[in-house]
């Protein structure tokens, strides 16, 4: 089994992005699954072009995109990607879409194929905070999540794909009072057990558990 795991480069003036830093530190194999690591730019469309090329080259069984969600205190697997680009800030190429469709011929939304309940349970069992998220936002994180789902429908029907958001690192909140963070060691550990759950549930579907949120 192959799992392609991507992480974004720093954006919005940050010197570091926990997404790519965590991805780089993941084991090369998890439960006998080969982990293929890829850094992608925080740039609309360009990030999708790079991921599509890598999928075509590596033919992974799973694609898992990782992104930073500043303000969240938990590791949060995403349930759904929506067909909209709406940037609070410009991307790293200076592009700031406002209410544009990602794909004019794409569905309004796509749901992940990953066992998000099992992922959350695995992270919690490892002693770290985790919960399902029902919004991946409208920035480049949602963009790549949606684009990979679109690729799955249109070009790569054999892959399963999803997204996990992670908190700030402690060094990112020095000048952000009361903002939650998580150590890089814990983020890597949390992602590792989440990926372990993906491998263990391969072909089995998700577990039955109450993990929903009101909002």
Note the pLDDT tens digit of each residue in 122-135: 999 999 999 999 99
Q: How many residues does the chain have?
A: 215
Answer whether residue 214 shows pLDDT above 80: no
pLDDT in tens, 141-186: 999 999 999 999 999 999 999 999 999 999 999 999 899 999 999 9
131 a catalytic residue: no
**Per-residue tokens: 159:** 């892959």
- CATH code for residues 2-200: 3.40.630.20
**Cβ burial, residue 39 (10 Å; 0-12/13-18/19+):** middle
Catalytic residue among 131, 143, 165, 211: 165
Give the pLDDT score at 183.
98
* Number of Cβ atoms within 10 Å of the Cβ of 31: 15
Given a cut of 90, whether residue 211 has pLDDT beyond it is no
- pLDDT, averaged across the chain: 97
How sure is the predictor about 215, in pLDDT bands with cuts at 50, 70 and 90?
low
Q: Which of 47, 131, 141, 211 is catalytic?
A: 141
**16-72: pLDDT as tens digits:** 999 999 999 999 999 999 999 999 999 999 999 999 999 999 999 999 999 999 999
CA distances for 130 relative to 72, 118, 122, 166, 212, angstroms: 10, 11, 9, 9, 12
The structural domains of the chain, with segments of one domain joined by +, span: 2-200
DSSP 8-state assignment for residue 168: P
Are 168 and 73 spatial neighbours (Cβ–Cβ below 8 Å)? no
Long-range CB contacts for residues 93-98, cutoff 8 Å, separation at least 24? 93/41, 93/43, 93/44, 93/46, 95/43, 95/44, 97/44
pLDDT for 177: 87
Residue 165 annotated in active site: yes
Among candidate residues 21, 47, 78, 211, the one labeled active-site is 78
Distance of CA 154 to the CA centre of its chain: 20
Pick 173 or 209 by higher pLDDT. 173
DSSP-derived secondary structure letter, 37: E
Name the residue among 17, 15, 18, 26 with its Cα closest to residue 5. Answer: 26
Note if 47 is an active site residue. Answer: no
Element (H, E) at 147: helix 140-154
């Amino acid at each position: 089994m192959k799992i392609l795991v991507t992480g974004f480069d720093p954006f919005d003036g940050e010197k570091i992005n926990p997404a790519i830093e965590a991805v780089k530190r993941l084991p090369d194999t998890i439960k006998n699954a080969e982990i293929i690591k890829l850094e992608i730019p925080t740039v609309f469309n360009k990030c999708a072009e790079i991921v599509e090329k890598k999928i075509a080259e590596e033919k992974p069984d799973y694609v898992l995109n990782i992104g930073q969600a500043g303000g969240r205190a938990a590791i949060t697997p995403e349930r759904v990607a929506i067909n909209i680009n709406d940037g609070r800030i410009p991307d790293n190429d200076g592009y700031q879409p406002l209410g544009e469709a990602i794909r004019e011929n794409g569905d309004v939304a796509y749901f992940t194929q990953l066992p998000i309940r099992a992922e959350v349970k695995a992270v919690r069992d490892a002693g770290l905070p985790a919960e399902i998220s029902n919004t991946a936002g409208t920035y480049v994180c949602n963009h790549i999540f949606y684009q990979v789902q679109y690729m799955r429908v249109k070009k790569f029907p054999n892959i399963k794909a999803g997204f996990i958001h992670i908190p700030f690192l402690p060094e990112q909140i020095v000048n952000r009072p009361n903002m939650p963070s998580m150590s890089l060691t814990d983020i890597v550990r949390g992602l590792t057990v989440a990926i372990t759950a993906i491998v263990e549930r391969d072909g089995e579907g998700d577990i039955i558990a109450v993990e929903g949120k009101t909002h």
